[in-house]
Amino acid sequence: MVDRSLSFARDPADLDANALRDIALEAGADDVGLVSLDDPALDDQRGDILAAFPFARTLISFVLRMNRENIRSPARSVANLEFHHAADDCDEVARAIAHSLEARGVRAAYPSMGFPMEASRWPRKMWIIAHKPVAIAAGLGRMGIHRNVIHPTFGNFILLGTVAVDVDCGARARALDFNPCFECKLCVAACPTGAIAPDGHFDFGACYTHNYREFMGGFGEWVETIADAKSARAYRAKVSDAETVSMWQSLAFGPNYKAAYCMAVCPAGADVIGAYQADKKRYLQEIVDPLQKKAETVYVVVDSDAESYVTRRFPAKQLKRVGAPFRPPTIESFLSGLRLVFQRGKSNGLDAVYHFVFTGAEHRNATVAIANRTLRVDDGLVGDSRLTVVADSETWLRFLRKETSLVWALLRGKIRLRGDPRLLLAFGRCFPG
């Protein structure tokens, strides 16, 4: 028996782009694209990929189709069953590709389609390879306004996988020269939290708070609710029996998405669009309306844009106000996270530049500008500020985690303000929770 554990020899002639595609298709992929790790489209991904797979030279990106009708069902257990099985299949395809290549003496490895991830990094980037930008660079689709990759044939009813390979097969991928998303805005209409706006704006915080309620941040809040409850009665006053059972189900059978309606209603893709084009009214009645009318609990951060949206747009749905799902452990995560949780509706009328000077354990200067319902975060102190916040970094993080009060920090000089203090309140309204 030959020990191949340290043998990386191979015949490059046997592994050109066509051979790699055939291996992936034989493993069960429905479509395959190849992209060199040197591709400029992967400039912002390359470092993380090489940190996990230092041998990587080419990425095999592949698509696996899902069963559309399961995803479209208003019964979320049916939709999540398809998500879970398709995710397992996706990981099996990636494993089969890597296994086939390893048998040929080629180094190959793959991360999961979704979970497990590097949870110790939370709330920073947990995933090893961002499958979406890789798939787009490999020419397998384009991003729709709902932030799902749309394959030109299969639409957005797909899952993505990636295998890193120690082969330079000369793959020079070209991005798809058209976007299958024709901006029908059905995803806008179906989203229960208003996370997708008609102008293309995406409220990450609204989507994450509701759809991923039983994942990382929401699960953490649930655990803290248990810890804070002084009795079973006190716990039940905050968490219904159905919510407790739903969390148990996620723990036992895999985390369940609360919505993903944007994917369910999307008619893009050659294999999908026929029913929409043939009878739009029927498509709306059979696919979109049941999701809009579904009786369900929608989770929103208190005083967020999503709370206002659900109250106005879906008054029949039950609103559940929860805390913010993110607690930044560092100043870096605080600053980078501002873009994700900014509530532009709450910033109406605000035009201000903020300077932040952090001292102590983390030294950092940053500028946050809010104007015309937009947010900009820059390193350093840029321009003239209307309010300067000088804060001990650890005190600021404890304040964000509600472990200390702003008044206490101000009285002890741990946080100092130069400018109109009312602007700090206005700042806080843009980031509720």
Q: Do 63 and 158 sit in the same domain of this protein?
A: yes
Neighbours of 17 (CB within 10 A): 18
User: Of 315, 318, 319, 327, whose CA–CA distance to 300 is shortest?
Assistant: 319
Instruction: Please report how the helices 204-211 and 331-341 are oriented relative to each other, as an axis angle in degrees rounded to 10.
Output: 90
Q: Are residues 208 and 340 both part of a single domain?
A: no
Please check whether residues 155 and 256 belong to one and the same domain. Answer: no
Q: Domain end: 297, 322, 347, which one?
A: 322
316 and 228 co-located in one domain: yes
Same domain flag for 92 and 199: no
The residue among 344, 324, 320, 313 whose CA lies nearest residue 192 is 313
* pLDDT tens track for 244-263: 999 999 999 999 999 999 99
- Both tokens of 339, joined, read 């873009």
Contacts of 208 (CB under 8 A, 6+ apart): 217, 325, 340
**What's the confidence (pLDDT) of residue 5?**
39
What CA–CA distances, in Å, run from 347 to 13, 71, 131, 420, 424?
59, 35, 33, 17, 12
Kindly state whether residue 4 falls inside one of the protein's structural domains: no
Residues 211 and 335 in one domain: no
What's the pTM? 0.90
Note if the bond before 111 is cis, omega within 30 degrees.
no
Joined tokens for residue 168: 């330079």
Within a domain: 285: yes
What gap in Å lies between CA 107 and CA 198, rounded to an integer? 45
Residue 281 and residue 344 in one domain: no
Provide the residue type at 260 as one letter: A
Model pLDDT, residue 11: 52
Distance of alpha carbon 67 from its chain centroid, rounded? 22
Q: Indicate if 197 and 125 belong to the same structural domain.
A: no
The rounded average pLDDT for each run of 10 residues, N- to C-terminus, in the chain (433 residues) is 39 76 97 95 95 96 97 96 97 98 96 93 90 97 96 98 92 85 95 95 95 91 93 95 95 93 97 96 97 95 95 93 88 94 96 97 96 96 96 96 93 96 95 89
Distance CA 115, CA 111 (A): 9
> Which among 130, 165, 200 is the end of a domain?
165
Same domain, 337 and 314: no
Q: Bridge-partner residues for 93, per DSSP?
A: none
The amino acid at residue 199 is D
Query: What is the DSSP code string of 357-404?
Result: EEETTS-EEEEEEEETTEEEEEES--S--SEEEEEEHHHHHHHHTTSS
Q: How far apart are CA 20 and CA 39, in angstroms?
A: 18
The one-letter amino acid at 423? L
CATH of the domain at 341: 3.30.1050.10
Choose one of 298, 322, 346: the last residue of a domain.
322
CATH of the domain at 88: 3.40.109
Sequence length of the chain is 433
Range of the domain at 86: 12-165
The answer as to whether 388 is a domain residue is: yes
Looking at residue 326, its pLDDT comes to 82
Q: Is 298 in contact with 318 (CB distance < 8 Å)?
A: yes
pLDDT single digits (tens) 39-51 = 999 999 999 999 9
Q: Identify whether residues 157 and 253 lie together within a single domain.
A: no
The confidence score (pLDDT) of residue 222 equals 93
Give the integer Cα–Cα distance in Å for 18 and 171: 10
Residue 170 lies in a domain: no
Closest CA to 201 of 217, 215, 182, 185: 185
Q: State phi, psi for 414 to the nearest 5 degrees.
A: -75, -25
Name residues whose C-beta falls within 8 Å of residue 86's C-beta, 6 or more positions apart in sequence.
64, 66, 67, 159
Based on the fold, state whether residues 345 and 314 are members of the same structural domain. no
**381 part of a folded domain:** yes
pLDDT of residue 248: 95
pLDDT of amino acid 38 = 93
**What integer pLDDT is reported at residue 180 of this predicted model?**
94
Residue 286 lies in a domain: yes
Are 52 and 111 in contact, with CB atoms under 8 Å apart?
yes
Residue type, 136: I
Do 2 and 26 form a contact (C-beta atoms < 8 A)? no
Q: Give the up-direction half-sphere exposure of residue 119: CA atoms within 13 A in the CB hemisphere.
A: 7
Q: Is 60 a member of any domain?
A: yes
Indicate the SS3 state at residue 162: strand
Query: Dihedral of the CA atoms 158, 197, 337, 321 (nearest 10)?
Result: -100
Orientation angle between helical segments 17-26 and 76-103, nearest 10 degrees? 130
Residue 124: inside a domain, yes or no? yes
In the prediction, which pLDDT does 10 show?
A: 46
Whether 359 contacts 390, CB under 8 Å: yes
How many structural domains compose the chain? 3
Helix axis angle, 204-211 relative to 216-228, nearest 10°? Answer: 60
**68 shares its domain with 151:** yes
Residue 131's pLDDT is what? 97
